[in-house]
């Protein structure tokens, strides 16, 4: 039953499920994987919670900036594995870290509020050596945030950053030798940084980039540092110019020359249909029908003309496209090269192998 509880929020467990019967109440009281979240939507207060559960039963904590964290002795959560801090300022964060002695954390997520240019996050991690999470999420890399590259985080395996430049990408890979999964939500890069003299290779296994207007040249610069990459995802929901990123030959050469260990590739790009460079959808999908694509299982590719949006989408399938409730569109798949006119939700796809619509 505890495994079922893992999929329930704390409010539901304590104020609904717990009241079903004495037996269920007893089972809830023995549950030791509670996730507490103090957000705008939270309906409980501190007295309600800690009257019903013990601190050692909590494995996950989330705080918003408007919460007074000084009310809590965070070190009482001796089994805490995940900590999320949203909208926290640097002073509060440094105060928290200076008193934290928990060594059980495996995941941490920090979203800083606005930080002025003359502020530093934490100049030293000497007071923070007990924390060595394997997963870390951060909203923005700043030139003053040196503690990410400190010894206490050298075992980091998963890193998620909202905004990251190429220089920061290189520095992070260099200082985090055990990093295996790197997710960048907004990637920025100047062409002038492409000539950086970088002479190391990362052991990164998965690289995920979303909402970044990355060019083919920039992408090549990223993956040349990650020859052991097994999974690559590049997704950009914004319209972009029709360039070599839409060319199957570019992707084929990229994988062959730099990503020999790649097992899976996911991507999504869109461009305006008002483009003289585009003759038809078949001309876009044709380079994805070479033996390289048909003999390998990286992904199949679909090209879609979304009529009401006047957009052309190119994406891997199973698709990572945005969900649209209703659309009329023309699609062509690299699997069979046949046109299909479809009317319906965009998250419903047509299985070309079985000739049927799939949810």
Which H or E run includes 3? helix 2-5
Rounded mean pLDDT, 326-344? 87
Q: Which of 196, 215, 154 is closest to 179 using CA atoms?
A: 154
Its domain, for residue 18, covers 1-31
Instruction: Looking at the structure, tell me whether residues 182 and 293 fall in a common domain.
Output: yes
In a domain, 150, yes or no: yes
pLDDT at 249 exceeding the cut of 80: yes
Distance CA 284, CA 261 (A): 26
Instruction: Looking at the structure, tell me whether residues 106 and 253 fall in a common domain.
Output: yes
More reliable by pLDDT, 232 or 319: 232
Instruction: Looking at the structure, tell me whether residues 67 and 211 fall in a common domain.
Output: yes
The phi-psi region of residue 64 (left if phi > 0; otherwise alpha if psi is between -120 and 50; otherwise beta) is beta
Instruction: Looking at the structure, tell me whether residues 19 and 114 fall in a common domain.
Output: no
Instruction: Looking at the structure, tell me whether residues 2 and 54 fall in a common domain.
Output: no
Report pLDDT for 156: 79
Residues in contact with 332: Cβ distance below 8 Å, sequence separation at least 6, in sequence order: 281, 282, 285, 302, 303, 304, 338, 339, 340
In a domain, 188, yes or no: yes
Report pLDDT for 32: 92
Backbone angles phi, psi at 160, to 5 degrees: -125, 130
pLDDT in tens, 125-141: 334 445 556 666 665 55
Instruction: Looking at the structure, tell me whether residues 15 and 114 fall in a common domain.
Output: no
Q: What is the CATH number for 277?
A: 3.80.10
pLDDT in tens, 285-332: 999 999 999 887 678 899 999 888 889 999 998 666 666 666 788 999
Report pLDDT for 126: 37
- Per-residue confidence at 193, pLDDT binned at 50, 70, 90? low
Instruction: Looking at the structure, tell me whether residues 261 and 182 fall in a common domain.
Output: yes
Counted domains in the chain: 2
pLDDT at 350 exceeding the cut of 50: no
Instruction: Looking at the structure, tell me whether residues 3 and 60 fall in a common domain.
Output: no
Rounded mean pLDDT, 196-203? 77
The mean of the pLDDT values for the chain is 78
Distance CA 331, CA 337 (A): 9
pLDDT at 231 exceeding the cut of 50: yes
Rounded mean pLDDT, 237-262? 92
In a domain, 112, yes or no: yes
pLDDT in tens, 116-174: 433 333 333 334 445 556 666 665 555 444 445 454 566 778 888 888 888 888 888 88
Instruction: Looking at the structure, tell me whether residues 220 and 183 fall in a common domain.
Output: yes
* Pairing relationship of beta strands 311-317 and 264-272 according to DSSP bridges: antiparallel
Instruction: Looking at the structure, tell me whether residues 138 and 226 fall in a common domain.
Output: yes
pLDDT in tens, 52-98: 888 899 998 887 765 666 667 888 888 988 888 877 777 777 777 77
Contact criterion met (CB below 8 Å) for 98 and 129? no
Whole-structure pTM value: 0.73
Residues in contact with 51: Cβ distance below 8 Å, sequence separation at least 6, in sequence order: none
Instruction: Looking at the structure, tell me whether residues 27 and 114 fall in a common domain.
Output: no
Residues in contact with 13: Cβ distance below 8 Å, sequence separation at least 6, in sequence order: 5, 28, 31, 34
Distance CA 246, CA 250 (A): 8
Report pLDDT for 131: 55
In a domain, 305, yes or no: no
Q: Which of 270, 300, 330 is the last residue of a domain?
A: 300
Q: Which of 275, 300, 325 is the last residue of a domain?
A: 300
Rounded mean pLDDT, 327-355? 74
Percent of the chain with pLDDT over 70: 73
In a domain, 317, yes or no: no
Report pLDDT for 188: 77
Helix (H, G, I), strand (E, B) or coil at 36: strand
In a domain, 163, yes or no: yes
In a domain, 327, yes or no: no
Instruction: Looking at the structure, tell me whether residues 210 and 149 fall in a common domain.
Output: yes
Report pLDDT for 344: 74
Q: Which of 300, 320, 340 is the last residue of a domain?
A: 300
């Amino acid at each position: 039953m505890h495994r079922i509880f893992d999929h329930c929020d704390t409010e539901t467990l304590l104020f609904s499920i717990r009241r079903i019967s004495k037996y269920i109440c007893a089972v809830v009281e023995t549950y030791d994987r509670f996730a507490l979240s103090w957000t705008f939507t939270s309906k409980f207060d501190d007295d309600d919670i800690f009257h019903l559960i013990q601190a050692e039963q909590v494995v996950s904590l989330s705080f918003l900036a408007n919460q007074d964290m000084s009310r809590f002795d965070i070190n009482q959560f001796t089994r805490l594995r995940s900590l999320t801090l949203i909208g926290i300022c640097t002073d509060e964060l440094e105060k928290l870290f200076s008193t934290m002695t928990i060594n059980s954390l495996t995941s941490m997520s920090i979203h800083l509020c606005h930080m002025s240019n003359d502020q530093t996050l934490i100049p030293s991690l000497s007071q923070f050596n007990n924390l060595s999470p394997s997963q870390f999420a951060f909203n923005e890399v700043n030139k003053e945030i040196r503690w990410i590259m400190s010894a206490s985080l050298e075992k980091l395996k998963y890193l998620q950053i909202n905004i990251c430049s190429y220089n920061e990408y290189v520095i992070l890979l260099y200082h985090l030798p055990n990093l295996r999964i790197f997710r960048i939500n907004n990637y920025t890069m100047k062409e002038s940084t492409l000539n950086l003299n970088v002479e190391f290779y990362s052991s990164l296994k998965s690289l995920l980039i979303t909402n970044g207007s990355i060019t083919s040249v920039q992408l090549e610069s990223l993956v040349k540092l990650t020859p052991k990459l097994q999974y690559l995802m590049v997704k950009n929901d914004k319209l972009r110019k029709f360039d070599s990123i839409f060319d199957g030959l570019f992707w084929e050469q990229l994988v062959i020359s730099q990503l020999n260990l790649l097992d899976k590739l996911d991507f999504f790009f869109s461009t305006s249909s008002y483009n003289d460079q585009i003759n038809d959808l078949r001309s876009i999908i044709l380079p994805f029908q070479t033996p390289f694509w048909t003999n390998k299982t990286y992904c199949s590719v679909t090209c879609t003309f979304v009529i009401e949006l006047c957009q052309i989408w190119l994406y891997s399938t199973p698709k990572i496209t945005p969900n649209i409730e209703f659309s009329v569109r023309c699609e062509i798949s690299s699997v069979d090269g046949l046109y299909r006119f479809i009317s319906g939700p965009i998250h419903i796809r047509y299985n070309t192998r079985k000739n049927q619509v799939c949810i």
